[in-house]
Copies of this chain bind each other. A is one copy, B any other.
Amino acid sequence: MIQKLTTEERATELAQLKGWQVVKDRDAIQRKLQFADFNEAFGFMTRVAIKAQEMDHHPEWFNVYNKVEITLSTHEANGLTARDIKLASFIDSITA
């Protein structure tokens, strides 16, 4: 069973991510992204989907046209874990 990040781990890990906000009232992080158009936004989502499937760790996300809002949290731990940081880092790496 995967464990939630400790307070120290959260501080260290979150500081290394780009543009992620801690969600209010929930132990989760969110990032809002904007692309040139739908083609680019859905292309990004497809890259994340393939990575998520490989990791067996999936995002919650909303898309409208060129905008994508992604929320990450680990259901089985009821909060943020190393899996969320790993997926967030991947997302950061493909949106550099």
Tell me the A residues contacting B by CB distance below 8 Å: 38-39, 42, 45-46, 49, 52-53, 58-65
- Contact assessment for B39 and A53 in the assembled complex, using a CB-CB cutoff below 8 Å: yes
In the complex, the 3 A-B pairs of residues with the closest C-beta atoms, listed nearest first: A60-B64, A62-B62, A42-B49
Count of identical protomers in the assembly: 2
What are 10 A-B contacts with C-beta separation under 8 Å? A38-B52, A38-B53, A38-B58, A39-B53, A42-B46, A45-B45, A59-B64, A60-B62, A60-B64, A61-B64
- Contact assessment for A62 and B65 in the assembled complex, using a CB-CB cutoff below 8 Å: no
Chain B contacts of A65 at CB under 8 A? 58
Chain B contacts of A58 at CB under 8 A? 38, 64-65
With contacts A39-B53, A42-B49, A53-B39 taken as known, whether A60 is within 8 angstroms of B63 at the C-beta atoms is yes
